Chain A
C-alpha cells in the first residue's frame, strides 16, 4: 500500500472472466493521490482488462472497484467526468486536425483546459492544423495524452502509452508523464517495458495470468529478491547451466532469451571460476557481461519466463 495519502483507486478482489479465460482473477490494490502506479506484465496478463474496468469501459464480474471514492459501475458518468483516459493503440477521427479533436473532446466535459494550452503542453504546436491521420506514431500518442488531459483530470489512465514508439519518442513521452506527476496528478499506467516501469513508477504491480504476483516500489521489489548481481553470457551446450550452479558465489541460475544468467554474491570469484571451467572445456563464453538485477529478473524469478516474448 502507498505511503500515506488518500487512496484515489481502491480495488478489492476484482474478477473478470471471458468464458473459460480468467482475464482478471482476484486482483486487489490501492493507489494513493499523487502517485504514479504501474502495472507491469506481458501481453494477456490482464492489465488492460483491469484498467478498462477502472475506466468504466468494462464491467467486473465481482469485486469492489472504487475510483475517486465512487463505485465505478454505479457512477460511470461522474467518474468519467473526472478521469483522463488514454487507450491502447487508438486512432481518432482520421480527418480532423489536432485542434479540432481537442475542441471536440473538450465539449464532452463540463470542465476543460484551453486547447492552446494543451497543444503546447504536449508540444504539438507545429502540427496543430494537421489531420490526425498524418501525425507520426509519437505525435499521435502525444495527441492521445492531450485528449486524456482535456478535462484537467485528477487521475489519468495510460494503457501502454509508449508501445510501438522509437526510443527518442519514448523518452519525450516519459518526460511528459513525469510532468503530469509534477502537476499533482495521479497516474496509473500499464506497460510491458520494465525500463518504463522503473523510470516512471513510484510503485509497480507485476501481473501475470490475471494475478498480481508482487507489488511495491521498484527498488524494494528488486532488493527483496536479489542481493546479487547477474553474470550473463550467450548460452552454449558446452556450458550447461546445471554444471555452473556450483561455481563460487552463485546463488541461483536462470535461462533467459538465449542467455545463461548466474546470480552471484561474488562477481569476481564467479567470473574467475566460469572462465577457468570454460578454458578447461576449450570454449569461450560469448558476450560475457555483468549487471545489476532488474525488474526483468524479478519477473523471470516469479514466472520462470522472460517478460518480453
Chain B
C-alpha cells in the first residue's frame, strides 16, 4: 500500500512538473469552457424572455393582471392553454409558464368583503436555467405584491407557487459544460498512452521490473493518478460552469462522479491499449492526436451531432465519446438523449473491458 502511494505521488509530481502535460490535462479543457461559454454565453445576450401565459380564470380581475404582465417589457407573453404552453416550454420555445388559477377574481372579490382564502399563481421554471427563472419569478412576485396591496392592503391573498418543469432543450452553455468535461476525460485517458510509451522507451518500466515491485502496483498508480486528475477536472469544469455560466447539476452528484470515473476508466483503458501498440514517443504523440481529434469534433461536444451529414452521424454513433458526453449531459443537466443512460453506461463499460483485455494481453514492458 505504501509502495502504491509512493508511486502515485511520484506520478503526480512528474505530471505537475511537466508543463506540456499539465496544459493538455487541465488548462486545455478549462480554456474551452471559458471560450465556448462566452461564445454561447449566459442568456445568449437576450434582453427579453419568452413566457407562456395561461389564464384559467377569465374574470375582469385576471384581465387586469394580463395587462400588468403585458406592460413588463422584459417579458414576451404567449397566451395559450396549460398543455400547449407546457409543451412549448419543453421544446424550449418559452422559458417559463405563468398560470393564473381559476377563481382568482372571486378570491379577490371575497378579500375586499372580508374573509378570504389565499389563492396561488403558479410559475413553471426550468431549474437548469436558473438566472432566467429567477428573473421571471421576480417579475411575478412584484406584480402579485401590487395586486395584494391594491386589493386588500397587503395581506397575502394571492401567493406564488414555484414549480419546476425540465426543458429538454437545454441552453447552449448547459449543453457545453458536461460535454467539455467528457472531452477532458477522453483526452486524459487517451493521452495516458504517451507517458507510458515514454517510460517504456526510456527503459523506466524495465528498470522498475528489476525491483521486487509488483506490476499491478505500477499500473495501479497510473490509474490512481489519472482518476485523481479526472476528479480535479470535474471540480474545475463544474465550478466554472456554476460560477461563470450558472450551469447547475440537476441530477445526483454521486451519479455524476460515477459517470466521471467510468468515463475516465474507459478512456484510460483505450490509452493503455494504444500504448501496447505504439513503440516510440513521437509515434504515440501522433497517433493519440489522430484518435482524439475526430472524437472531439464529431461526438457532439460543441453542438448536437444531429447537424452532421448522415454518414458522419453514423461514425459519431460508433465513437465512445458520444456515449460519455451523452451520459454526462443526462446525469448533469437532463439534456436531450442520444441513447438511454443504461446504453451509454453499457457502451462505456464495454470499451473498458475490451480495451483492458487487449492491454493486458499485448502490453510490453520493454
Contacts of A104 in B (CB 8 A): 6-7, 10
Closest Cβ neighbor of B198 among chain A residues? A94
In the complex, per-residue mask of B190-223: 1 if CB is within 8 Å of any chain A CB, else 0 = 0000000001001110111111110000000000
Does A56 lie within 8 Å of B6, measured CB to CB? no
Known pairs A87-B207, A108-B212 / 8 extra A-B pairs, C-beta < 8 Å: A87-B203, A92-B204, A93-B14, A93-B199, A94-B202, A95-B14, A107-B6, A108-B213
Say yes or no: is A80 at the interface (Cβ < 8 Å to chain B): yes
Judge whether B204 and A56 touch: CB under 8 Å: no
Instruction: Flag if A105 contacts B210 (CB, 8 Å).
Output: no
Cβ contacts under 8 Å, A80 to chain B: 210-212
How would residues 162 to 187 of chain A score, 1 for a CB under 8 Å from any chain B CB and 0 otherwise?
00000000000000000000000000
Q: Which residues of A contact B (CB under 8 A)?
A: 55-57, 77, 80-81, 85, 87, 89-96, 100, 103-105, 107-110, 131, 147
Return A213 CB to nearest CB of chain B, in Å.
Answer: 28
Inter-chain CA distance A85–B208, complex, in Å, is 10
B17 sits at the interface (CB 8 A): yes
Name A's interface SS: loop
Q: How far is the CB of A109 from chain B (nearest CB, A)?
A: 6
Asked if B14 and A96 sit within 8 Å, CB to CB, the answer is yes
| CA gap between A77 and B3 in the complex, in Å | 15
Task: Tell me which residues across on chain A come within 8 A of B17, comparing CB atoms.
Answer: 95, 131
> Would you mind naming 5 contact pairs between A and B with Cβ atoms under 8 Å apart?
A87-B206, A90-B202, A93-B14, A94-B14, A95-B18
Known pairs A89-B203, A93-B204, A95-B18; A107 contacts B210 (CB<8 A): no
CB contacts (< 8 Å) of B18 on chain A: these are 95
Quick check: B204 and A90 within 8 Å, CB to CB? yes
A105 partner residues in chain B, CB cutoff 8 A: 211
Please give me the residue from chain B that is nearest to A150 by CB atom.
B211
Mask of B40-70 contacts with A, CB within 8 angstroms, 1/0? 0000000000000000000000000000000
Give complex CA distance A147, B18 in Å.
Answer: 23
> Hey, which chain A residues are within 8 Å of B209, CB to CB?
57
Q: How far is the CA of A150 from the CA of B6 in the complex (A)?
A: 16
Residue B361 CB within 8 A of the other chain: no
Nearest to B199 among chain A residues (CB) is A93
With A and B bound together, what is the CA distance between A160 and B143 in angstroms? 87
Cα–Cα distance between A110 and B2 once the two chains are bound (Å) = 11
Cα–Cα distance between A77 and B214 once the two chains are bound (Å)? 9
A82 — nearest CB in chain B belongs to which residue? B212
How far apart sit A89 and B207, CA to CA, in the bound complex (Å)?
Answer: 10
B207 nearest CB neighbor, chain A only: A90
With contacts A104-B6, A108-B3, A131-B17 taken as known, whether A92 is within 8 angstroms of B207 at the C-beta atoms is: yes
Expressed in whole angstroms, the Cα–Cα distance for A94 and B199 within the complex equals 10
Give Cα distance in the complex from A96 to B6, angstroms. Answer: 12
A289 to B78 Cα, complex, angstroms:
108
Who on chain B is nearest to A58 by CB? B366
User: Within 8 Å CB of B6, what residues of A?
Assistant: 103-104, 107
B54 to chain A, nearest CB (A): 63
Complexed CA–CA distance, A105 and B207 (Å): 10
Complex A-B, nearest 7 residue pairs according to Cβ-Cβ distance, in ascending order: A90-B203, A95-B17, A85-B210, A108-B211, A107-B6, A108-B213, A80-B212
Within the complex, what minimum Cβ distance (angstroms) separates B118 from chain A? 68
Chain B hits for A103, CB < 8 A:
6
Nearest chain-B residue to A104 (Cβ)? B10
Q: Which residues of B contact A57 (CB under 8 A)?
A: 206, 209-210, 366
CB-CB contacts below 8 Å: B151-181 with A: none
Instruction: Convert B1-32 into 0s and 1s, putting 1 for each residue whose CB lies closer than 8 angstroms to a CB of A.
Output: 01100110010011001100000000000000
Contact between B202 and A91, CB atoms less than 8 A apart: yes
CA distance A96 to B206 in the complex (A): 17
A93 to B12 Cα, complex, angstroms: 12
Least Cβ–Cβ distance between A149 and chain B, in angstroms? 13
Which chain A residues border B7 with CB–CB below 8 Å? Answer: 104
In the bound complex, how far is the Cα of B14 from the Cα of A131, in angstroms?
Answer: 10
Contact indicator A77/B212 (Cβ below 8 Å): yes
Contacts of B204 in A (CB 8 A): 90-93
Q: Which residues of A contact B3 (CB under 8 A)?
A: 107-108
B207 touching A96, Cβ below 8 Å: no
Chain B residue nearest to A148 (CB atoms) is B210
Residue numbers in A under 8 Å from B199 (CB-CB):
93
C-alpha gap A100/B12 in the complex (Å)? 12
Q: How far is the CA of A301 from the CA of B13 in the complex (A)?
A: 53
Minimum CB distance partner of B15 in chain A? A95
Determine the chain B residues whose CB is within 8 A of the CB of A90 once the complex forms. Answer: 202-204, 206-207
Provide the bound-state CA to CA distance between A107 and B6, in Å: 7
A110-B213 Cα distance, complex, nearest whole Å:
11
> Which residues of chain A are near B203, meaning CB under 8 Å?
87, 89-91
**Cα(A77)–Cα(B210), bound, Å:** 9
Give chain B nearest CB distance to A80 CB in angstroms: 4
Contact of B13 among A85, A96, A108 (CB under 8 A): A96
Query: Which chain A residue shows the least CB distance to B10?
Result: A104
| Measured CA separation A299–B3 after assembly (Å) | 46
Report chain B residues within 8 Å CB of A110. Answer: 212
Q: How far is the CB of A164 from chain B (nearest CB, A)?
A: 14
Minimum CB–CB distance from B259 to chain A (whole Å) comes to: 32
How many whole Å from B12's CB to the nearest CB in chain A? 11
Cα distance, A89 to B203, chains bound together (Å)? 8
CB distance from A265 to the nearest CB of B (A): 48
Q: A80: nearest residue on chain B (CB-CB)? A: B212
In the complex with contacts A85-B210, A96-B14, A107-B2 CB distance below 8 A:
yes
Looking at B199, B211, B213, the one whose CB has the most chain A CB atoms below 10 A away is B211
Q: State A81–B17 Cα separation when bound (angstroms).
A: 31
Give A96 to B8 CA distance when docked, in angstroms: 13
Bound complex: CA of A67 vs CA of B50, how far in Å? 82
Contact indicator B207/A95 (Cβ below 8 Å)? no
In angstroms, how far is the closest chain A Cβ from the Cβ of B99? Answer: 62
Residues of A with C-beta under 8 A to B213 = 108
Q: How far is the CA of A103 from the CA of B3 in the complex (A)?
A: 11
Chain A: CB-nearest residue to B6: A107
From residue A75, how far is it (CB to closest CB) to chain B in Å?
11
